[in-house]
Every structure is written in structure tokens, then in C-alpha cells.
Amino acid sequence: MSALTTGVKRFNRENWKAYFLLFPSLLIFAFFMFWPFIYTIYLSFFDWNMISPTKEFVGLQNYIDILTDPKSYNIFGNTFIYIAILLVLNCVVPYVFAFVIDMVLKRFKGFYKGALFMPAFISLVVGSILFTWILNPVSGPVAIILGWFGLEMPIWSKMDGWVIFVLSLITSWKVFGYNFIVLYASINGISRELIEAARLDQVPLWRIFFQIVLPMSSATGIYVFIITIVQGLQYVFTPIKVITQGGPNYASSNAIYHAYHEAFVLYRTGHSAALSILTMVIFLVLLFIEIKFVERGIYYEN
């Protein structure tokens, strides 16, 4: 018996068991993830209203339409503003919070962790409704308190800029806790000796953060960075849908919401599909740049 045949035989004998275990997952993914993914690419080359029996092949026209429509730039612009705000609120702030709670403070750590994580369990529809009322520019509690100081609350749901900011805030309310806990886990895993040694050398906190904690948790940092962009934009969908439906005049729409809008409000599946694919490509490019850029200094925990 040669070495090769022995190895291969063994290999194959166990092989089927692994595929058997994977089968349910693969079946589901094939139907509801991989095939749809491919079919969306296909649809992006057709003009179709989801109802008519025939689809018209239009080549790259859907992509051209999107790239030449000034509204698209508006929407991509909005998307980047959302990304920027979400990154600050759900990546930078939780990073600093996790660092401070884990390494700087001594008391109430458990309470802070538990309380900060809590909203992650609540529906964003609930969040949207609560904040719509709490931030109601006329009769909400915040408006009333601002009124005491003679300040007036902007009618944020009708104002460009403000609307994106408030919708991002509402989304952050939900997303913050999960990102915080994940980052906390990573920072908590950094060797205490290293930090103690730095403190003995009187290294200031901000230096410990930038020169030890940040590089040593960078693998998780990148993960959070990515999900903040990818999932953050999807989470924003809910408050947009519930509160503004993309308005006023697309001022709060982003690429995700607009793809939905094209498909299920305007019934332009080709545009929607092309927009989704473009969004994904932009995500991929972003991820690629980020990973390339950070890779040099990256430190993989375990």
C-alpha cells in the first residue's frame, strides 16, 4: 500500500460525515444566500418590474443610469456621512469606553458593562418610536428642557444634515453595546503584565491606549470597523423606514434604503440590483483598503 492511497482513503472515509453535518447549513445558504446573490447580479443587467413575465436585457444600462443620476451622488454622499458618524459613535467611542472601563476604572465595571450592552437587545422599531417622541421638536421632553434655556429644537426630521445625524444617533443607541462588548473582550485579553509594566514606567494613559492597546487589539478593531460600516448601514434602514421613508426629498436615504425603495416602491429591480451590487463593491473596496492599510501594524490575538 503506498502512502498516497492510504492517506486518501482515510481522508475520504471521514469526508462524508463532515459534509453530512454541513448539509443543512449548506442547503439553506444555497437557497437563501448564494443563489440570490448570483440572481441579483443577473437581475442587474435587466429591466424588469417584478411582475411582467418578461425581462428586458439592457446590459450595463442600469449601472450607467445610477452612475449618471445626480440623485445617486446625493445618496452615496449620505451613505458616507452615515458611515462617518457611525464610525465615530460605534467604533471610536466604544473603543475608548472599553479601554477606560477595563484598564482605568476600578469600580462599577460590571454595572457599566451590563447597562451599556442592554439596548442591543431592544428592537430598533421600538428605538425609533421612542426617540421620535423624546426628540419631538415641539412637545418632546428634550424640546421642553431646551425651552427652559430659550433654545429651540430643530425640526430635525425635515432638515438636511440634522436628519442623518439623528437617525445615526438612534441606530447607535442599539449598535453601541454590541461593539463595546466585543472590543472590551479583546482589550480584556491583553496581558496585564504588559500594561502594569507600562504603568510602572509612568507611561501616560493615552500612550498606553495608542501604543499598546490599539495595536494589540487591532484584529478585533478591524472586525468592529467592518461590521460598523456593513451592519450599521443596514441597521439605519429601520429608523429611515419607520421615521422618514428616506425623506425629506432623499435627504436621509442611503444606498441600502434606496435599493429597497427602488425594488419595492418603484418596482425597478434592475436599478435596485445594480445599486446593491455597487454598494457591495464599494464595501469590498473599503475593506480591502482598510485591511491593506492596517495590515502592517496588525496583531492577531490568538
Partner 1 sequence: MKINRFVSIPWHLIFIATIFILIFPIIFAVGSSFKSLQDAYNNVLNIIPIQPTLENYQIFFNSLPAIQITVNTFIIAAVVTIFKVITSFLAAYAFVYFQFRGKTVLYFLLISTIFIPFTVTMIPNYLIISKIGLTDSIWGVILPQLADALGIFLMRQSMKTIPMSLIEVAQLDNLSHVQIMRDIVLPLIKPAVTSTGIWFFISSWNEYVWPVLILKTTDNFTLPLALQMYISSEGGTNFTVAMAVSVITMIIPLALYLAFQRYIVGTFTSSGIK
Partner 2 sequence: MKEIRFENVWKSYGKTEVVKGLNFTIKEGERLILLGPSGCGKSTTLRMIAGLEEITSGELYMNDRVVNDVPSGKRDVAMVFQNYALYPHMNVVDNITYGLRVQKVPRSETRNRLDAALKMLKLEGYENRLPKDLSGGQRQRVALARAVVKKSNYFLLDEPLSNLDAQLRVSARKELVKIHELYRQTIVYVTHDQIEAMTVGDRIALMNEGKLQMLDTPENVYHRPANIFTAKFIGSPPTNVVEVTYLDGKIMFGNQSFQLSPMWVKQVEQSKTSKVAFGIRPEHLEINKTANKNTLKGTVKYVENQGNSYGVYVDLQGDEVIALSESKYWSQGETVYLKPFMNHIHLFNCETTNSIGYPAELDQEETTLERVLIHE
Q: Which of residues 10-69 bind partner 2 (CB under 8 A)?
A: 10
Give the range of 7-15, 93-101, 142-150, 248-256 binding partner 2 by CB under 8 A.
Answer: 7-15
Q: Does 141 bind partner 2 (CB under 8 A)?
A: no
* From partner 2, partner 1, none, interface partner of 133 (C-beta below 5 to 8 A by class): partner 1
* From partner 2, partner 1, none, interface partner of 287 (C-beta below 5 to 8 A by class): partner 1
Smallest separation (angstroms) from partner 2 to the CB of 9: 7
State which residue, 81 or 100, has the beta carbon closest to partner 1. 100
State which residue, 7 or 36, has the beta carbon closest to partner 2. 7
DSSP-based three-state secondary structure for 46: strand
Pairing of strands 46-47, 56-57: antiparallel
Q: Which of 280, 231, 35 is nearest to 124 (CA)?
A: 231
What stretch of H or E contains 158? none
Q: DSSP labels for 61-112?
A: HHHHHHHH-HHHHHHHHHHHHHHHHHHIIIIIHHHHHHHIIIII--SSHHHH
Q: Which of 270, 254, 256 is nearest to 39 (CA)?
A: 270
* From partner 2, partner 1, none, interface partner of 220 (C-beta below 5 to 8 A by class): partner 1
CB-CB contact of 102 with 205 (8 Å): no
Q: Which of 38, 79, 43 is nearest to 62 (CA)?
A: 43
Q: How far apart are CA 178 and CA 185, in angstroms?
A: 11
State which residue, 52 or 123, has the beta carbon closest to partner 1. 123
Smallest separation (angstroms) from partner 2 to the CB of 5: 10
CB-CB contact of 263 with 272 (8 Å): yes
Smallest separation (angstroms) from partner 2 to the CB of 4: 8
* From partner 1, partner 2, none, interface partner of 2 (C-beta below 5 to 8 A by class): partner 2
Q: Does 3 bind partner 2 (CB under 8 A)?
A: yes
Q: Which of 38, 28, 29, 32 is nearest to 273 (CA)?
A: 38
Interacting residues of 7 by C-beta distance below 8 A, sequence separation 6+: none
- How big, in percent rounded to 5, are the helix, strand and coil portions of the chain? 75, 0, 20
* From partner 1, partner 2, none, interface partner of 24 (C-beta below 5 to 8 A by class): partner 1
Smallest separation (angstroms) from partner 2 to the CB of 7: 6
Give the range of 1-9, 105-113, 268-276, 288-296 binding partner 2 by CB under 8 A.
Answer: 1-9
State which residue, 6 or 52, has the beta carbon closest to partner 2. 6
CA end-to-end distance (rounded Å), the chain? 39
* From partner 1, partner 2, none, interface partner of 29 (C-beta below 5 to 8 A by class): partner 1
* From partner 1, partner 2, none, interface partner of 242 (C-beta below 5 to 8 A by class): partner 1
* From partner 2, partner 1, none, interface partner of 1 (C-beta below 5 to 8 A by class): partner 2
Q: How many residues bind partner 2 (CB under 8 A)?
A: 7
Determine the residue type at 256. Answer: I
Smallest separation (angstroms) from partner 1 to the CB of 287: 7
Q: Is residue 106 exposed (0-12), middle (13-18) or buried (19+ Cβ within 10 Å)? A: exposed
State which residue, 8 or 134, has the beta carbon closest to partner 2. 8
Binding site for partner 2 (CB under 8 A): 1-3, 6-7, 9-10
